[in-house]
Amino acid sequence: MIEQFYPTPPDTAMRLVNMLDTPLQLPILEPSAGTGNLIEALRHTDKRWTRYDDSDFHCIEINAERAASLRGKGLTVIWSDFLTFNPIIPYGSIIMNPPFHDGAKHLLKALNVLADGGQVAAILNAETIRNPFSNERKILLQQLEDADYQCEFMQDAFDGTDVEIALIHAKKKASTVRCETFENFKRLIVDEAKPETSTALIRGEEDNIKRDILYYQAIVKTALKLFDELNAFNRMCKKLDDVTEIFEMKNRFHSARDIAKRINGAFWTRLLYSEELARLMTGDVQRNYSSKIRQMREYEFNEVNYLQLKTDLIKNLTDNLDEAIMKVWYNFTARFHWRDEQSKNRCS
């Protein structure tokens, strides 16, 4: 097959560049880069991109001479055949003008190596979009629709050919990132929880507290497990001369206990300002307990400690009410206390 090489004209490159939303996720890839006209449009023509370094741009080019020319421009050529490219770290943004005869295949590949939440801008033969006769094109259209894409058609965009083109812009939806370690612990803890619950908790708040306690237990066990995993990973990395600690956990936590205390504090703080306890507090009581959150970090978030905290709050509320009543009494009696030596306090 004769090689199809049609460098992107500057006007067309700029039109494609302007379809991108800013700021771009990094790094930025131009597959089938040719002479690098699309990256040049990003690097020099459009002022929005001047804050990016050359190292933020990667190229792929299958032609050896053009790859050498790209390197001569200071661009990083990381691969030759885009269809065989399988990066470990996905790309935040991709801008491309792939071969027209394989446009669907190349754009599907781009969507595959694009990071969640990233975006791709591509120039395709308009027939790839207008006439989805093959399964490959049908799959492409389905993925583009899932990505909420936009399309603009252009005629006579390339010198020497009257082929109509489609300018495509698509943003890959961000997927929900799930912590499998947490999910495993959560299932394990919930399954092991006894169906009967303590009658010490009043009806109405029992379910909320029980749910929070199970959630707390899953979070702590997950954090401790991840802490151990990261420490083991760091010990492994220390065996390599050119790798230092990748996760500087020790700068924030000196031990697994520090992690547990941080989580304890977060849960006690949230509970302290919850509706269940707010009705038991005056402003003074709440301020007093807020100052003790650091001390509360030493206590696990469980039913026993919750009930003790609630008991303390009720006792403090009673004491504060007694004190408030006495203040009102003194203020009230003071209004009827004359300084006349012969008078007496009428309310005494």
User: What pLDDT does 274 receive?
Assistant: 75
**Separation of alpha carbons 341 and 348, rounded Å:** 15
pLDDT band at 310 (very low <50, low <70, confident <90, very high): confident
DSSP assignment of 302-344: SHHHHHHHHHHHHHHHHHHHHHHHHHHHHHHHHTT--S-TT--
Q: Is 112 inside any structural domain?
A: yes
Higher pLDDT, 332 or 208: 208
Q: Which residue has the tokens 């989580």?
A: 263
- 330 and 184 fall within a common domain: yes
Looking at the fold, whether 204 and 327 belong to one and the same domain comes out as yes
> What is the identity of the amino acid at 190?
V
Q: 22 and 155, same structural domain?
A: yes
Instruction: Return the pLDDT at 251.
Output: 57
47, 17 contact by CB (below 8 A): no
Predicted pLDDT of residue 271: 80
Same domain, 144 and 24: yes
Task: Specify whether 144 is located in the same domain as 219.
Answer: no
The number of distinct structural domains making up the chain is 2
Please tell me the distance from the alpha carbon of residue 259 to that of residue 214, in angstroms, as a whole number. 17
Percent of the chain with pLDDT over 90: 32
Eight-state DSSP code of residue 200: T
What pLDDT score was predicted for residue 188? Answer: 82
Return the H-helix or E-strand segment holding 92.
strand 91-96
Residue for token digits 């006769």? 133
Strand-pair category, 28-30 with 57-60: parallel
Instruction: Tell me the pLDDT band of 297, cut-offs 50, 70 and 90.
Output: confident
Residue 321 has pLDDT above 60, yes or no: no
More confident: 43 or 255: 43
The answer as to whether 154 is a domain residue is yes
Residue entry with tokens 């038991």: 280
User: Containing domain of residue 66, as a range?
Assistant: 10-171
Q: Could you give the residue ranges of the DSSP H alpha helices within 28-134?
A: 37-40, 64-72, 103-112, 126-130
Among 203-212, 229-238, 321-330, which range has the highest average pLDDT?
A: 229-238
Is 16 in the same domain as 157? yes
Q: Are residues 211 and 155 both part of a single domain?
A: no
Considering the domain architecture, whether residues 136 and 221 belong to the same structural domain is answered as no
What b/e string do you get for 240-263 counting C-beta neighbours within 10 Å, with b at 16 or more? eeeeeeeeebeeebeebeebbbeb
Residue 214 counted as domain residue: yes
Tell me, yes or no, whether 47 lies in a domain: yes
Tokens 């090489």 — which residue?
5
**Alpha carbons 219 and 136: distance in angstroms, whole number:** 43
Q: Token digits for 43?
A: 């690097």
Q: Three-state SS for 122?
A: strand
**Are residues 138 and 58 located together in one domain of the fold?**
yes
pLDDT confidence tier of residue 202, bands split at 50, 70 and 90: very low
Please give the mean pLDDT across all residues of the chain: 79
Q: Please give the angle made by the CA atoms of 103, 22 and 130, to the nearest 5 degrees.
A: 25
Q: How far is CA 185 from CA 53, 179, 300, in A?
A: 43, 10, 17
Query: What dihedral do alpha carbons 329, 332, 333, 334 form, nearest 10°?
Result: 120
Q: How far apart are CA 39 and CA 140, in angstroms?
A: 24
CB 333 within 8 A of CB 347: yes
Determine if the peptide bond prior to 7 is cis (ω within 30°): no
Give the domain CATH number at 29. Answer: 3.40.50.150
Query: Do 91 and 151 share a domain, yes or no?
Result: yes
Is there a contact between 289 and 269 (Cβ–Cβ < 8 Å)? no
For residue 270, which phi and psi values (nearest 5 degrees)? -60, -40
Range in 63-67, 172-176, 281-285 with the lowest mean pLDDT: 281-285
Q: Are residues 209 and 130 in the same domain?
A: no
Does residue 345 belong to any structural domain of this protein? Answer: no
Average pLDDT of 82-99? 93
Q: Quick: pLDDT tens for 139-171.
A: 999 999 988 899 999 988 887 677 899 999 999
For residue 122, pLDDT beyond 90: yes
Q: Specify if 346 maps to a domain.
A: no
Distance (Å, whole) CA 221 – CA 216: 9
> Both 115 and 215 in a single domain?
no
